[in-house]
Structure 1
Amino acid sequence: MNKYSKLQSAYSFSHFQKDLISGLIVGIIAIPLGMAFAIASGVRPEYGIYTTIIAGIIISIFGGSKFQIGGPTGAFIPILLAIVMEFGYENLLKAGLLAGIILILMGLFKLGTLIKYIPRPVTIGFTAGIAVIIFTGQIANFLGLEGVKNHEYFLANIKEIYLHLNTINLYSVLTAIICLVIIVLTPRFAKKIPGPLIGLIGSSVIAYIFFPTEVATIGSSYGQIPNHLPSFHIPIITLEDVQHLLAPAFVIAMLGGIESLLSAVVADGMTGSKHNSNRELFGQGLANVVTPLFGGIPATGAIARTATNIKSGATSRVSGVIHGIVVLLVLLVLAPYASHIPLASMAPILMVVAWNMSERVEFIHLVKTKTGDSLVLLITFLLTVFTNLTTAVQVGLILAVFLFMKRMSELLIVAKVLPDPHDKNEKVRSKTVKEGMDCPQISIYTIDGPMFFGTAEFFESSVMKTIQYEPSILIFRMSKVPYMDTTSEHHFSSIVHRLQQRGGKILISGIRQQPLEVLKKTGLYQQIGQENFFDRTGKAINEGLNHLELQRCRGCKHFAFRECDELSIDTEVPTKKQMTSPAH
């Protein structure tokens, strides 16, 4: 039992004190991030605060990780901004609620483990792409540009920045630089003090004292932040809404599921604990169903905040609940002061978030490998930046699947073999098969690798093109076939039917349980005959030798088997004892 398991089994006041400290620290960190993520997503800053409070508490209580900190994250920014621009804020709430329902269903149907199988190049590709979008999206606020409009696509936004470069506000640039310097330097001198919060407060105070009217603030851009939670409101979702919003809701759900489970895995690695994937999806889903009812935006597990929670000494779910309560108290008491925060102070916070989430080391490493994974990574990244996240993930997954199929198909080996006369145990080997030594009546094949739809055609063609003498007996050694699907079974049955129509015989040795079950379910097992399945190749060869056309053996010079010396000159039918061969 690790130390965290022990803490959970004997929760005490000292543990509560640790949760209180960690919850306080993470709550303070979450405040500027919540507002920044909301603004970058195209909605009012208080909606990010609402999300931090409500989703943060629900995820901590109902999620599958004891240390998970939930709330708005940078990964959602591109997709949320696109939804707001196309459908509006009210429909964003509906999309978030639908995403929550999808996540709950995924949790109930125990699909949590499936998300883990999304290829790493795809996740790195869209994460790096999102980082680029977030970073470039803050250039206008960093420079204090005026009249800049948000667009759905990256190039249009870059063009918008270029067209308004003549409106640079040096006071905004100075404010942003002050905040950025504080964020970068704070961890070097005071690791436990949240740099983003100090940078936000420090640069805001300087701007408010020395040039209060020269920079755009939250108040001048969005109005006063209310110091209370919004009223409960259930949005009316029509069938038409579902049709329009189901696709973006699915993307929100998938992205939220991926990020929350990645965050849970990070927490497991830091604490030695074990999260429940399906409960995590359920908790995330519940949070995203409830949060929109109070005006909040979609939320998920936040890796950086979860890691900070653990490093600050968290011992249980209580720290996550406290983090939400801290944000609520700050909202109630200090909300009016938030109106004086310059937008230029928010920009460096998001730029640093983008830099930290960019996966730059992994990205460069994968590109340098110059493999199929590099192609999947680059295409997913470019599509995320230049089109949208939905297209990027879909294309990335399809490319990854095709790449996987290609790799798996290359793993299948179909080799024609014969007993090696130079081996004392007469082991079968492919090198034994030569032009002048290949039995016209018996062909033996070793099949090594998975037999599925990607390898089915290759399997059938490999067998058919190497049958030179139309043998009457085929022996398949299948001990190295871990898996068979119905497509490969169909191609396998084609070989069986063709041979049996000519009066031939199929013998199989060493077949594993899964392929055997497939053959039984499709009826091919019964067609081949139970008596033609053997646990060892030697037994299958003995059976094949007992069914030779002895007339064809006379005068044969191939001598593929030890018995061929006698069979090629005998004019009488040999006894079964004479034809018994040692196990191969």
Structure 2
Amino acid sequence: MLYSSINFKEINYKNEVLSGLTVALALVPEAVAFAFVAGVDPLVGLYAAFMVCLITSIFGGRPGMISGATGALAVVMVSLVKDHGVEYLFATVVLMGVLQMLFGLLKLGKFIRFIPEPVIYGFVNGLAIVIFMAQFGQFKVPKLNDTGVSWIAGVPLYTMLGLVVLTMAIIFLLPKLTKAVPAALTAIVVVSAIVIGFNLDTRTVGDMASVGGGFPAFHIPAVPFNLETLKIIFPYAFILAGIGLLESLLTLTLVDEITQTRGRSNQESAAQGLANVVAGFFGSMGGCAMIGQSMINVTSGGRTRLSGITAGVMLLVFILFASSLIEMVPLAALVGLMFMVAIGTFEWSSFRILRKIPKSDAFVLVAVSVLTVIFDLAIAVAIGVVISAMVFAWNSAVRIRARKYVDDKGVKHYEIYGPLFFASTANFLDKFDVANDPDEVIVDFAESRVADHSGIEAVNKLTERYLNAGKTLHLRHLSEDCRRLLKKAGNMVEVNIMEDPHYAVVTDRLA
């Protein structure tokens, strides 16, 4: 489905705008929290949420997906800020954006297809758990006479828990009664009205930090423009670009599934890069796609660019004009909202399918979920893809077969089935009985393919064995790409390419 073909008469503008407003409210505490994680001023996180959200919503390849400052990037940034200062962070964000734009312009987004379904399930479940666990930080407050934090207790705890439950109940029950307004926004408004109307003593957004400020100003990072600076920032930029693209493209895949449409991964990658370049030059920490806020947007009815644009614009409005009102929003309402997001994001069907899918896939699903919680998304997905690739290679290797028979002329035939590559070469060579075979042998590759250098070496070894035994070996029905591989191998393979005009037989020099 191409987005250019959307019928604008079918867009529900009310839902799009209200959904964007809901997302903007949910972005505020997340951006502030991630700014604290990265060790920068809260406004640096808020500016990132505004700029990245707005630019990717306008130019990105996945309308309805929300981007902003994220924890996955913040945990990488913290050491850079600590060791070199915030100006080096801004320079790194610019370089990160350039790398992401190159990724998109080179059309490398297609490689997201190489991530197996169990890895995507594990990614979704792991992030749902991370989102859920992250909300417990709102139940902690700084200690009065000591460093660190402590859990709230007594009446404040019970009040906050009650408001969280009320928020979750509204989000769950309201859609069953009416879908005229987004349930998440209604829950935030109702709970905020109760807290303000009854003057309840509970934590608000203002207790985290002030969200008021001016319009972000253009700012060239104050770093030396030399090779030494590049050596410092490039490793961080490369890692941040990779993590940002990975989280964005996986979130894009998830939103695709929910909306039954198809996003454009290369366009999204380039837009993410553009957003981060702009963010770096306007003094913010950059960002990438946010699965939690994207889920809020999609479930609230946001399907087009309008919802994301509204979220970005409203976030700027909050910063410039409405900070005092936003600081009055109780954290309990936003915690309840994120709890519901986590519950809705988690793939509960994965419990049902665990016993039905191959054990290796079940292991990958669980491993990626656990590793996402323990380490981070990039490590978890990388390990999941490696395990899946190894399992696939093993399964392909053991499936190589050879049908054997001797024809009426006394020639022995080996009909090979399955790919010949690095993992299957040992099994391939074990199929041949060189010592007891007749003087003439035909190996038929009609149902096989030489896939890599290891396969060429296996053919070479087999040819040498029959050559040393004084026997004639024919290689029949090699595909065109296999013959090209053998030709490129040159002297590495003891085979002269001589095609039979009827049977496309390739024979060695003994023939």
Q: Per the alignment, in what secondary structure is the counterpart of residue 211 of structure 2?
A: coil
CA contact (8 A) 1:266 1:307 kept: no
Root-mean-square deviation (CA, aligned residues, Å) is 3.7
| Match status 1:34 vs 2:23 | no
Shift of 1:337: 0.3
CA contact (8 A) 2:123 2:381 kept: yes
Give distance in 2, aligned partners of 1:84 and 1:124: 29
Render the CA deviation track for 1:322-359: whole Å, top value 9, x for unaligned: 55334444554422201112222221121112112222
| Match status 1:220 vs 2:207 | yes
Q: Which amino acid aligns with 1:416?
A: K
Render the CA deviation track for 1:273-321: whole Å, top value 9, x for unaligned: x543322211122122223433254122754366458x5674xx56654
CA contact (8 A) 1:69 1:305 kept: no
Rg larger in structure: 1
TM-score scaled to structure 1, two decimals? Answer: 0.73
Give distance in 1, aligned partners of 2:2 and 2:268: 22
| Match status 1:300 vs 2:269 | no
Q: Which residue of 2 aligns with 1:338?
A: 326
Q: Which amino acid aligns with 1:467?
A: V
CA contact (8 A) 2:92 2:237 kept: yes
Q: Per the alignment, in what secondary structure is the counterpart of residue 447 of structure 1?
A: strand
Residue correspondences, number: 491
Q: Which residue of 1 aligns with 2:226?
A: none
Shift of 1:490: 0.8
Give distance in 2, aligned partners of 1:407 and 1:192: 52
Q: Which amino acid aligns with 1:229?
A: F
CA contact (8 A) 2:20 2:311 kept: yes
Give distance in 1, aligned partners of 2:28 and 2:311: 15
Among 414, 424, 428, the alignment partner of 1:455 is: 424
Q: Which residue of 2 aligns with 1:187?
A: 175
1:178–1:47 distance in 2 versus 1, CA, 3 Å: farther
Shift of 1:243: 5.7
Q: Per the alignment, in what secondary structure is the counterpart of residue 219 of structure 1?
A: helix
Among 444, 461, 467, the alignment partner of 1:477 is: 444
Among 110, 135, 139, the alignment partner of 1:113 is: 110
CA contact (8 A) 2:104 2:267 kept: yes
Specify every segment of 5 or more residues in structure 2 that has no aligned partner in the other structure, as ranges.
224-228
TM-score scaled to structure 2, two decimals? Answer: 0.83
Render the CA deviation track for 1:419-473: whole Å, top value 9, x for unaligned: 4x8xxxxxxxxxxxxxxxx95xx4311111111111122212222xx23425432
Q: Per the alignment, in what secondary structure is the counterpart of residue 288 of structure 1?
A: helix
Q: Which residue of 1 aligns with 2:199?
A: 211
Over 6 Å off, 4+ runs: none
Within-5 A mapping of 1:322-361: 322-361=310-349
1:229–1:27 distance in 2 versus 1, CA, 3 Å: farther
| Match status 1:24 vs 2:5 | no
Shift of 1:409: 0.9
Q: Which residue of 1 aligns with 2:51?
A: 54
Specify every segment of 5 or more residues in structure 1 that has no aligned partner in the other structure, as ranges.
149-159, 422-437, 548-584
CA contact (8 A) 1:226 1:335 kept: yes
Moved more, 447-456 or 355-364: 355-364
Among 393, 397, 405, the alignment partner of 2:385 is: 397
Shift of 1:82: 6.1
Question: Larger relative contact order (C-alpha < 8 A, sep ≥ 6)?
Answer: 2
Give distance in 2, aligned partners of 1:121 and 1:60: 29
Q: Per the alignment, in what secondary structure is the counterpart of residue 477 of structure 1?
A: strand
Among 270, 290, 298, the alignment partner of 1:282 is: 270
CA contact (8 A) 1:147 1:164 kept: no
Q: Per the alignment, in what secondary structure is the counterpart of residue 454 of structure 1?
A: coil
Within-5 A mapping of 1:108-507: 108-141=105-138, 143=139, 147=143, 164=151, 169-212=157-200, 214-222=201-209, 224-226=210-212, 228-236=214-222, 238-239=229-230, 241-242=232-233, 245-246=236-237, 248-262=239-253, 265-266=256-257, 269-270=260-261, 275-294=263-282, 295-300=284-289, 303-304=294-295, 307=298, 311=301, 314=304, 317=305, 320-362=308-350, 364-366=352-354, 368-369=356-357, 371-419=359-407, 439=410, 442-463=411-432, 466-507=433-474
Q: Which amino acid aligns with 1:489?
A: I
Moved more, 18-27 or 503-512: 18-27
Q: Per the alignment, in what secondary structure is the counterpart of residue 60 of structure 1?
A: helix
Give distance in 1, aligned partners of 2:386 and 2:437: 41
CA contact (8 A) 1:252 1:298 kept: no
1:275–1:448 distance in 2 versus 1, CA, 3 Å: same
Moved more, 97-106 or 179-188: 97-106
Shift of 1:371: 1.3
Render the CA deviation track for 1:468-520: whole Å, top value 9, x for unaligned: 42543221111112452111111111111232344432212222122122112
Percent identity among equivalent residues? 23
Q: Which amino acid aligns with 1:38?
A: A
Moved more, 403-412 or 240-249: 240-249
CA contact (8 A) 2:65 2:252 kept: no
Give distance in 1, aligned partners of 2:98 and 2:242: 13
